[in-house]
Amino acid sequence: MSKVIGVILAGGSGDRFGSAKPKQFVDVLGRPVIEYTVDAFEQNEGIEEIVIVTREDYLSWVNEIVVRNAWRKVKHVVPGGKERYHSTLAAVELYSDDDLLIIHDAVRPLISQRIINDCIAALGKYNAVDVAVKSVDTIIQVDENECISSVPYRPMLRNGQTPQCFKLATLRHAYEVALQDPGFRTTDDCGVVVKYLPEEPVYVVAGEYRNIKLTNPEDLVVLKHYLQTR
């Protein structure tokens, strides 16, 4: 029987954030950001297990907060790697090809139950699922001289979020092909499927504008507001 696994990626360094600790561990309203994120997956009825992929130097700390929060679904806390995809692959190696992975950034703590549920439902029909919202700004593409080379049609554009979700066999296959490419680079699991398994459709679940990614210190103001009012 396949299992539905929530994968929380918490291995980033957060250099751009400018804090003494990585942003996924920064306290917001008395709790580290990662706790809000894991709570959302712990509370979801469709998630059967959770794995947290984190930095080597935070493994003990994360294990401590797992115990403190009494999260019963967290079965693994494992180290990631230098690049984001190393963290994804660390989770992939823990499970079988029949399992379903719901991969989420630890620094998106406002993930809703609706999004998680829609992602799980979409995996009933598709092997790969992304989450995105409609672009509200005009997106421009520039050339090497910083001049506009094209202006894509905005109604067809989306801003990607997470979770990104997969039948594990599909994601494993995509990375097996990708890692044979000497020029392989990625920051996005769905992008690996799109590039290296072009015949595989990637369905897009509607995201939410409040499903923000904590990237800059200014984002803390928005995050605190949403947490106080939800």
Q: Could you name the CATH architecture of 4-229?
A: Alpha-Beta Complex (3.90)
| pLDDT score, position 197 | 98
How many whole angstroms separate alpha carbon 41 and alpha carbon 101?
Answer: 12
pLDDT of residue 24: 95
The packing angle between helices 113-122 and 33-43, to 10°, is 50
pLDDT < 50 positions in the chain: none
Residue 187: what pLDDT? 83
Residues 6 or more apart whose CB falls under 8 angstroms from that of 138 comprise 151, 154
**CB under 8 Å to 210, separation ≥6 — which residues?**
110, 112, 226
* Separation of CA 33 from chain center: 14
Domain ranges in the chain are: 4-229
What's the rounded Cα separation, in Å, for the pair 61 and 20? 15
Other CB atoms closer than 10 Å to residue 28's CB: what's the count?
16
List the one residue out of 42, 70, 65, 57 whose CA is nearest residue 11: 57
Please write the tens of the pLDDT for every residue from 69-87.
999 999 999 999 888 999 9
One-letter amino acid of 95: Y
Q: What is the predicted pLDDT for the residue at 128?
A: 98
Stated pTM of the model: 0.94
* d(C-alpha 28, C-alpha 26), whole Å: 7
Cα 155 from chain centroid? 24
